[in-house]
Amino acid sequence: MANITISMIQADLLWENKEANLIDFENKIKKLSGKSHVVILPEMFNTGFSMNSQLLGEKMDGQTVSWMRRICIENRIILTGSLIIEEDGSFYNRMIWMMPNGQLGYYNKRHLFGFAGEDKHFCGGSQRMITSVNGWRFNLQVCYDLRFPVWSRQQIRENNEPEFDVLIYVANWPEQRAHAWRTLLTARAIENQCYVFGVNRIGQDGNNLTYAGDSLAIDPLGQIINESNNRENIFTCELKSEFINEIRTKFPFIKDADNFSIM
């Protein structure tokens, strides 16, 4: 694996205002000036965590996906974050992985947040997405998925290597549950011996919920390598292959893990 740089953008999302949010993120991305391979935006970065799926949902050739493609081509980055996508009459909280050549992959959020009624407005996904960049393998997850460790659990491939090296969680995680956010992100890093990036928002949404940010980058030992509290922020981390390889060699815990299948 070659070393790789990852940037997280923690922002105050304007409620259901796509145009304003996209302009704001474009300006923030320009400030990176080609310093990152991967740039991570929060969950539903163009609208905030809205259940107004029929009004805000887009096709895959719609405004926001087209914007992501242009931004990636112009800035030579990979860009990821989730938005509301409509497909065959169903709506998904879909995390897009847009590449610099304009091609993309995606992950549909598996665990829908019933406490907020997300399960009544969206369909859940059934497949994980693990993608590769510069030899690093990324597992994409969305917000509430964080509470369900089996869905993100590391598995050993046929060549006895771990399935992924980086877990990404994009979120709109409210301030009153910030302790759970920080604790679970750390647990996911330790149990999977991987880097974890949790990208949250700040501000207040249209339901008067407050978000304190607490976006985190955590190493495979569970140590915080970068964090952002209750303010808009952009920060970049360089991941070094020597470190993760050393940890996995020194502490070969994953090989002792239980074998299982996700049905």
* 263 domain-assigned: no
Please give the tally of structural domains in the chain: 1
Does pLDDT of 260 surpass 80? no
Q: Per residue in 4-40, pLDDT tens?
A: 999 999 999 999 999 999 999 999 999 998 889 999 9
Portion of the chain with pLDDT greater than 90, in percent: 91
Q: What is the pLDDT of residue 31?
A: 92
Q: Which domain holds residue 228?
A: 4-256
Which pLDDT value is given to residue 158?
76
Structure tokens at 263: 């049905």
HEC letters along 79-113: EEEEEEEEECCEEEEEEEEECCCCCEEEEECCCCC
Q: Of these residues, 18, 28, 58, 109, which one is catalytic?
A: 109
- Could you tell me if residue 57 is inside a domain? yes
112-118 contacts at long range (C-beta below 8 A, 24 or more positions apart): 112/144, 113/143, 113/144, 116/49, 116/51, 117/51, 118/51, 118/93, 118/144
For residue 237, indicate whether it is catalytic. Answer: no
Q: In the prediction, which pLDDT does 57 show?
A: 98
Q: Is 175 a catalytic residue?
A: no
SS (H, E, C) 196-229: EEEECCEEECCCCCEEECCEEEECCCCCEEEEEC
pLDDT band at residue 62 using 50, 70 and 90 as cut-offs: very high
- Side-chain-facing half-sphere of 252: CA atoms under 13 Å: 6
The CATH code of the domain that includes 229 is: 3.60.110.10
- Whether 54 is covered by a domain: the verdict is yes
Residue 117 belongs to a domain? yes
* Arithmetic mean of pLDDT over the chain: 96
Lowest mean pLDDT among 5-14, 83-92, 152-161: 152-161
Active site residue 43: yes
> 215 with 233: CB under 8 angstroms?
yes
What pLDDT shows up at residue 122? 98
Catalytic residue, candidates 18, 28, 43, 58 = 43
Of the listed 28, 72, 143, 194, which one is catalytic? 143
262 part of a folded domain: no
Check pLDDT > 90 for residue 244. Answer: yes
